[in-house]
Structure 1
Amino acid sequence: MDELKLVVAQAFKVRGKARLTRAELAFALSLDLKWFSPEESKSVINAGLKAGLLTEEDGRLTPAFDYKAVDVPPGFRPGKEIFTKSLLERLEVLLVNSGIEATSVRGLIDKKQAELCQLVTPEVAGLIIARERDLEITDFIDEALGQLMKG
């Protein structure tokens, strides 16, 4: 299971509420669980929003999944690599969180690339799939463009 999903689930479990302010969630991540610094906690929250694991409405964050059904392993502790996932990995997480089976995501990306005669990168194919599913991809576009410009 995605590490970020485990982090979000455990933070809501430790707080015992299904809706939290950003400050409450950051408090859970940094002080209750002692997993992140306050600044890192803000980054985790933003990553959760970008990945589609969290929704925000009226200043409150809500998990976009059944956090109570997530079994966080005893002794689980997230690594710092939670902040360093590649664009493709983050797009794959976004697609899985939208309801696509994890085992199917890479195949869908490969298929989209083939449909486009291999003229796009896997990242761009993932963005196209996400857009076709009406997922929010704004935050990924600049990064993908930057990769294309370097390429």
Structure 2
Amino acid sequence: MTGFAYSIEFEKNNPDHKLTVVFFLCLWFVLLLVLPELWWLSAVLCVIAFIDAQHRLVKLMPSAGVILVQEGECGLHLTGRALDIQGEVVFAQRYTNWLLVSVKTDQGIRRVGFIASAMDKASWSHFNRIALSFR
């Protein structure tokens, strides 16, 4: 892929962990009501699930980098500290201020997530428009 049409920089692409914490606390409370004699097991399972969810979110969302978009051919090149993904956008889904993009690379399909606060407003809306047009 040569001749990229747009270059978008992003930084601080870290999700807010409050939603994850609230979800697993509610799950623990429900398990506590259902199985009160196994409160310790439900607490341990919720902590392990929370740690796994945090690990998966960190892998899904690169903290900083540059997005190079080739608009006509749906090409995308993501570069960052520990990130170098180049491929075609297969699918994109937007959830309020999150954008999940599936990129088809030589190694298979890789999902990458972005949040709105990671880039300026104009770049966010333009990147959304481009990524969602390839659905």
**TM-score normalised by the chain length of structure 2:** 0.25
Q: Per residue, is there more helix in 1 or in 2?
A: 1
